[in-house]
Amino acid sequence: MATVCRLASQVEQRLLARNVVFDSFFSREATRLAEACREMSDRFLRGGRLLAFGRGPYATDAQHVSVEFVHPVIVGKRALPALDLSICFRPWLEAIVSPDDIVMGFGPPDGDVEVWSALDMAREKGAMTFALPGHEGDYSFFGETTDPFIHQELVEILYHTLWETVHVFFERRELGHDVGEAGFLYPFLGQEKQSTVDVMMEVANSILLKVNDDALLRRQAAHDEADQIGNAAIAMSERISAGGKLILFGNGGSATDANDWALDCFFPPPGYRPIPAVSLSLEPANITAIANDIGTEVIFLRQFIAQARAGDVAVGISTSGGSRNILATLEEARKRNILTVALLGYDGGEIKRRSLADFPIVVRSDYIPRIQEVQASIYHVIRETLEALCHGQS
Q: Is 249's pLDDT higher than 60?
A: yes
- Taking only the tens place, the pLDDT of each residue in 32-54 is 999 999 999 999 999 999 999 99
Mean pLDDT (the chain, rounded): 92
CATH 3.40.50.10490 fits 219-391, yes or no: yes
Show the beta-strand stretches assigned E in 97-157.
Answer: 102-106, 128-132, 139-140
Q: What is the DSSP string of 200-218?
A: HHHHHHHHHHHHHHHHHHH
pLDDT at residue 186, as a whole number: 39
The answer to whether 19-213 and 219-391 have equal CATH topology is yes
Domain boundaries, the chain: 19-213, 219-391
- Taking only the tens place, the pLDDT of each residue in 177-186 is 444 444 444 3
Is residue 217 within 8 Å of 362, Cβ to Cβ? no
Q: Is 394's pLDDT higher than 80?
A: no
pLDDT at residue 175, as a whole number: 52
- Taking only the tens place, the pLDDT of each residue in 282-326 is 999 999 999 999 999 999 999 999 999 999 999 999 999 999 999
Report the share of the chain in percent with pLDDT over 90.
85
**What fold is seen in the domain 19-213?**
Rossmann fold (3.40.50)
Sheet holding 82-84, edge to edge: 82-84, 50-53, 102-106, 128-132, 139-140
> Exposure string (b/e) for 203-232, b if CB count within 10 Å is 16 or more?
bbebbbebbeebbebbeebbeebbebbbbb
